[in-house]
Chain A
């Protein structure tokens, strides 16, 4: 049995300890806001926070989360009003929207560490998050807006 606090709620999980966190979230818990994009930590669509740190859930076995706290896009804010989410909506960042959960989770972790990030820090923190529609320019602007820089 693996015990993980997911979005503030402790959960006992009877799953294969090797199952990647992504599939536990999506297939076992029905938390589908976290997306599958590559399966190899190359695209960032599956980004979640493990004890506050960015991880790629598609390659991280659930056993790594035992006794820890996981935060997904569903738990980033209750009402969808995290400053980043508000900035995302205000600037119309999403096109297809598929990668945006991961983009926002990466950006949220950045803002905790660097509340006033530079352009370079934004690019570095989001270098692992791909967007095929090409929303990067608005992503940069929205992160800055949320950070008030």
Chain B
């Protein structure tokens, strides 16, 4: 990590932290070419010295003892604001009652703010503690110097520095004045507390935002108000890279409250985070803007993507997995093993596109002020948002401020700042603060879609029924296609989500990735390709059990194999991506996967419940460094399955905030029921066919189990992900339960399409 530094007082004034005696932040070396001297030569010293700056504190302590901790990541329902600041306070020795949160803006000074990939705890657990530990060491150093005692004889607890031998104590407030005069220790010398001293964590933590969220006080993207603010609603091309051929603004301008009708710049491939173009109606209020858009008469040139038909494309994907693809993982000789097999089992699985559909459709307020721009946005990626706004407006990014509001759900959609750039461009065009408001139809029809895919498996069994061969092919348009032209295959980051990292105790296997081109914006949605892999593989393993008349749990445990730690060579890959984490810290450990499978089936009373006639389905998956197993029980209700009970066991290593982790598992079960039963986005003539919750259905309250059992495995392993790993096993467990109930194997989602 970069160096930790004291924050200059002038910056604290600007942040409203003028009362702080002491504040620490991370030093950040700015990117960009070194500045040239007038003689044309680069001055290396100037470029490095001038590049180091720090102005946004993580921790500020005022002389009255008030501690302010920055919540620097996006709060989108995972409870990050109720978790990470507690971690820092605990490491510091602060009393949470004297700690207040400050929602940080988007700024590299905070390091990584990309709230994505279930990383908030797993990737920042140690770094955030180091910042707090640095502050603690400086408080101790200042006090020890004054008392003329060894710093090692002082402790920071209960919001004070204490010296037990002399029974002296100094409050954090008083100590902060001394700490401000001390040198900042080198981060390499910073020592973390033993975890046993982190007494506030690893339990249920108070939900700090629950009150504001239950009283309508929490502010989301569309809730910020500025004087003179206008509202824009945009008619975007129905097909990606379609263009406006012609339009008549007059009928829209005739509507009361409409101020302006403007054409948006058309994007150029690849999509990246560019707005989609179209025509914007800027009005005095949302209603007028919406009416204005309805009145617009636009002729579109749909462009090359108009040929896309996602139902027909299903056949393209299936053709792709029926042919040889690029080998992405292999071990042994699968062709010989398949040829020698006594029994072969083959199956193909298909999943549709999905839309994120957060309850808050994208919305953003921007205020362009000539040489600067201020933005209020529900964004998972405030730094990307800042970069993109700066680029679109031609501003230095230091002139762009991105304030993070609460996110009314995100699931990956709000990691893409296209809607934020729209607001910035429109504020410039309107000469006023502008809120861009997406409608639900905009959200469903102009998303970054979860990729549709096909998976094909061929397994061979020997005379004893042991699986000796496993050939797996998958094809799906890649997320990379959104960011580069000419992409035809999946990226390593997508393939690692099951295809190249799921443990298999099969002596011969080969995984192949087939060609698949994108015709819409493909993006990441909660759990990403793990949803698809886990559904396909989790269903297939259940099919293998049926083929061998085995208990599905025994089959799953046999495929996962004995307790062991897998190397890249064992996985049959050159390098395991492992979600960016080193394998020695976060090994692929089948003992942990086995344990969640064994535990969840124990909780569900798997064997006797099945014997007594209940319809249970099981699936398990490792993703984002955590291990999750799910059992779903269904009852058939007028020919339709209803989940009456579900069990989920998660091993996510050390869990800081048990309550929010359980909430994420509850959410995963329900999100999973929705997508398994109903979720499908289809495109015809290049345009999305669905538009609102009547045709893009998500789970309603009546569809969720009356009994849900959640267990977090007690673990001292480093923290894994929480927000995403619960979701992948849900759909296959449900499909397997439906098979148990009906004898019907459904190999395509959503299930309701086949019921």
The answer to whether B667 and A134 touch across the interface, beta carbons within 8 angstroms, is yes
The answer to whether B214 and A95 touch across the interface, beta carbons within 8 angstroms, is no
Q: A28-B285, A35-B408, A98-B360 are in contact. Are A73 and B215 (CB under 8 A)?
A: yes
The answer to whether A33 and B701 touch across the interface, beta carbons within 8 angstroms, is no
User: Which chain B residues lie closer than 8 Å to A97 at the CB level?
Assistant: 77, 209-210, 212-214, 218, 406, 408
Asked if A94 is at the interface (CB within 8 A of a chain B CB), the reply is yes
User: Which chain A residues lie closer than 8 Å to B79 at the CB level?
Assistant: 95
Across the interface, A40 reaches (CB within 8 A) one of B222, B411, B663, B692, namely B692
The answer to whether B77 and A33 touch across the interface, beta carbons within 8 angstroms, is no
- Per the bound structure, the CA–CA distance linking A92 and B207 in Å amounts to 6
The answer to whether B214 and A100 touch across the interface, beta carbons within 8 angstroms, is yes
The answer to whether A23 and B700 touch across the interface, beta carbons within 8 angstroms, is no
Across the interface, B359 reaches (CB within 8 A) one of A28, A88, A131, A137, namely A131
User: Which chain A residues lie closer than 8 Å to B406 at the CB level?
Assistant: 96-98
Q: How far is the CB of A93 from chain B (nearest CB, A)?
A: 7
Chain B CB within 10 Å, residue with most, of A34, A35, A139, A140: A35
Interface hits, A76-123 → B, CB 8 Å: 76-77, 80, 84-85, 88-89, 92-101, 104, 119, 122-123
User: Which chain B residues lie closer than 8 Å to A35 at the CB level?
Assistant: 220, 359-360, 408
Q: How far is the CB of B146 from chain A (nearest CB, A)?
A: 43
User: Chain B interface: which size bin?
Assistant: 35 or more
Q: How far is the CB of B301 from chain A (nearest CB, A)?
A: 28
The answer to whether A134 and B670 touch across the interface, beta carbons within 8 angstroms, is yes
Chain B CB within 10 Å, residue with most, of A16, A88, A97: A97
- Per the bound structure, the CA–CA distance linking A35 and B78 in Å amounts to 20
- Per the bound structure, the CA–CA distance linking A8 and B119 in Å amounts to 46
Asked if B76 is at the interface (CB within 8 A of a chain A CB), the reply is yes
User: Which chain B residues lie closer than 8 Å to A84 at the CB level?
Assistant: 214
- Per the bound structure, the CA–CA distance linking A97 and B667 in Å amounts to 13
User: Which chain B residues lie closer than 8 Å to A28 at the CB level?
Assistant: 285
User: Which chain A residues lie closer than 8 Å to B285 at the CB level?
Assistant: 19, 23, 27-28
Q: A72-B216, A94-B213, A133-B409 are in contact. Are A37 and B704 (CB under 8 A)?
A: no
Q: How far is the CB of A58 from chain B (nearest CB, A)?
A: 10
Q: A23-B286, A42-B692, A138-B666 are in contact. Are A33 and B216 (CB under 8 A)?
A: yes
Q: A37-B361, A40-B440, A139-B701 are in contact. Are A96 and B76 (CB under 8 A)?
A: yes
- Per the bound structure, the CA–CA distance linking A84 and B215 in Å amounts to 10
User: Which chain B residues lie closer than 8 Å to A53 at the CB level?
Assistant: none
Across the interface, A73 reaches (CB within 8 A) one of B216, B358, B668, B708, namely B216
Q: A42-B693, A42-B694, A80-B215 are in contact. Are A95 and B667 (CB under 8 A)?
A: yes
- Per the bound structure, the CA–CA distance linking A88 and B216 in Å amounts to 12
Asked if A149 is at the interface (CB within 8 A of a chain B CB), the reply is no
Asked if B655 is at the interface (CB within 8 A of a chain A CB), the reply is no
Q: How far is the CB of A121 from chain B (nearest CB, A)?
A: 12
What is the total of A-B residue contacts with beta carbons within 8 Å?
Answer: 189
- Per the bound structure, the CA–CA distance linking A97 and B82 in Å amounts to 14
Asked if A132 is at the interface (CB within 8 A of a chain B CB), the reply is yes
Q: Mark A13-49, 1 if CB is under 8 A from B, else 0.
A: 0001001100100111011111111111011010000
The answer to whether B216 and A74 touch across the interface, beta carbons within 8 angstroms, is yes
User: Which chain A residues lie closer than 8 Å to B286 at the CB level?
Assistant: 23, 26-27, 36
The answer to whether B216 and A32 touch across the interface, beta carbons within 8 angstroms, is yes
Asked if B722 is at the interface (CB within 8 A of a chain A CB), the reply is no
User: Which chain B residues lie closer than 8 Å to A73 at the CB level?
Assistant: 215-216
User: Which chain A residues lie closer than 8 Å to B693 at the CB level?
Assistant: 38, 40, 42-43, 130
- Per the bound structure, the CA–CA distance linking A7 and B185 in Å amounts to 56
Asked if B333 is at the interface (CB within 8 A of a chain A CB), the reply is no
Q: How far is the CB of B434 from chain A (nearest CB, A)?
A: 13
Q: A130-B359, A134-B704 are in contact. Are A40 and B694 (CB under 8 A)?
A: yes
User: Which chain A residues lie closer than 8 Å to B10 at the CB level?
Assistant: none
User: Which chain B residues lie closer than 8 Å to A130 at the CB level?
Assistant: 359, 693, 698, 700
User: Which chain B residues lie closer than 8 Å to A23 at the CB level?
Assistant: 285-287
User: Which chain A residues lie closer than 8 Å to B361 at the CB level?
Assistant: 36-37
User: Which chain A residues lie closer than 8 Å to B198 at the CB level?
Assistant: none
Q: How far is the CB of A13 from chain B (nearest CB, A)?
A: 13
Q: How far is the CB of B690 from chain A (nearest CB, A)?
A: 12
Q: How far is the CB of B455 from chain A (nearest CB, A)?
A: 26
- Per the bound structure, the CA–CA distance linking A130 and B410 in Å amounts to 15
Asked if B659 is at the interface (CB within 8 A of a chain A CB), the reply is yes
User: Which chain B residues lie closer than 8 Å to A26 at the CB level?
Assistant: 222, 286
User: Which chain B residues lie closer than 8 Å to A123 at the CB level?
Assistant: 701-702
User: Which chain B residues lie closer than 8 Å to A99 at the CB level?
Assistant: 359, 408
In this complex, what residue of A is CB-closest to B662?
Answer: A92
User: Which chain A residues lie closer than 8 Å to B211 at the CB level?
Assistant: 80, 85, 89
Asked if A1 is at the interface (CB within 8 A of a chain B CB), the reply is no
User: Which chain A residues lie closer than 8 Å to B407 at the CB level?
Assistant: 96
Across the interface, B666 reaches (CB within 8 A) one of A94, A132, A135, namely A135
Asked if B585 is at the interface (CB within 8 A of a chain A CB), the reply is no
- Per the bound structure, the CA–CA distance linking A19 and B224 in Å amounts to 21
Q: How far is the CB of A72 from chain B (nearest CB, A)?
A: 7
Asked if A126 is at the interface (CB within 8 A of a chain B CB), the reply is yes
The answer to whether A127 and B287 touch across the interface, beta carbons within 8 angstroms, is no
The answer to whether B207 and A94 touch across the interface, beta carbons within 8 angstroms, is yes
The answer to whether B231 and A101 touch across the interface, beta carbons within 8 angstroms, is no
Chain A CB within 10 Å, residue with most, of B207, B209, B692: B207
5 closest cross-chain pairs (CB), A and B: A33-B216, A134-B670, A97-B213, A98-B408, A96-B77
Please name 5 further chain A to chain B contacts, defined as beta carbons within 8 Å, in addition to the given A26-B222, A40-B694, A137-B670, sorted by A numbering: A27-B231, A38-B693, A40-B440, A134-B666, A136-B699
Q: List 24 A-B contacts (CB under 8 A).
A: A16-B257, A27-B286, A31-B216, A33-B216, A33-B217, A42-B440, A42-B692, A43-B693, A72-B216, A73-B215, A89-B210, A89-B211, A92-B660, A93-B214, A94-B207, A95-B664, A96-B77, A96-B213, A96-B408, A97-B210, A98-B409, A131-B670, A133-B667, A136-B704
